[in-house]
Copies of this chain bind each other. A is one copy, B any other.
Amino acid sequence: MYELFFKKIAERITLTPGQQDIIKQYLIPKKIRKNQYLLQEGDVAKHAAFVEKGSLRAYSVDDRGTEHIIQFAFEGWTISDLYSFLTGEPATYNVDALEDSELVLISKAAQDEILKQVPEYEIYTRLQVTGAYLAMQKRLTSMLSLSLEERYINLTKLYPNLIQRVPQRMIASYMGLTPETLSRVRRKIKDK
C-alpha cells in the first residue's frame, strides 16, 4: 500500500522508517470508479489526492456549459482544487476519474500535521509545488508562442501515452480548442 506515494517522495528526499510510519497514519486509501466525482464545484476540497493508479482530471465549466480541463493527473501526480484545499473556500473546479483509479487522500489537517512533524516533508512539498509551477509555466508559454500543430506535437512528446488514455475531445479541452479543430490539426500533421 502507498508504494508509489513513498517512491515519489524518495525521489526527492530521504525519510526514516519512523517518519514514513508517521505519515502513513494520516493517509486514506480510496478507490474511485471511472466517471465518478472526487470533487464538485461549490463543495470544499477536503482532500488532496495522490494517484497510485488510474487517472483523473480537474476542470471548470463556463457559462455556456463548456468544460475546460485545467489539469490531468496520472500515476504519481497529485490533484485537487488546491485553492479550495488550502483556504476552505468552495471549489471552482470539478475533479473526476477518467479511469478506475486508486488514490491516496490527505486532508488539510493531516497535511499540516505531517508538515509539522516531518521537516523533510516540507522540502518535498516545496519541490513538488515548484515542479508543478514550472510545468504549468511551460504550458502557458507554449500557448502564447506556438502554433496549434507545434503545441499538439509537443504535448504528445511530453506525455506519450496521454493519447492512448484520454479521449481526444478532452485533449482539445485541455488545449483550449474545440474537438473539431483538434481533429483538423491532427489531420494536418498526418498529411505531412
Give residues of chain A (143-158) contacting chain B, Cβ–Cβ below 8 Å: 143-146
**Min C-beta distance of A145 to chain B, whole Å:** 4
A interface: dominant SS: helix
Q: Is the CB of B136 within 8 A of A137?
A: yes
Q: Is the CB of B140 within 8 A of A86?
A: no
Interface stretch (choices A29-37, A121-129, A161-169, A182-190) = A121-129
Chain A interfacial residues counted at CB < 8 A: 30
**Min C-beta distance of A112 to chain B, whole Å:** 11
Contacts A60-B141, A122-B123, A139-B140 known; A133 to B70 CB distance under 8 Å? Answer: no
**Min C-beta distance of A173 to chain B, whole Å:** 8
**Interface membership of A68, Cβ < 8 A:** yes
The 19 listed contacts between A and B (C-beta, < 8 Å) are A60-B144, A62-B145, A62-B146, A66-B145, A69-B144, A70-B141, A70-B144, A82-B133, A83-B137, A119-B119, A122-B122, A122-B123, A126-B126, A126-B129, A129-B129, A136-B136, A143-B143, A143-B176, A144-B176
Closest 10 CB pairs between A and B?
A126-B126, A68-B144, A62-B145, A133-B133, A68-B145, A144-B176, A129-B129, A129-B130, A122-B122, A83-B134
A residues sitting closer than 8 Å to B (CB atoms) are 60, 62, 66, 68-70, 82-83, 86, 92, 119, 122-123, 125-126, 129-130, 132-134, 136-137, 139-141, 143-146, 176
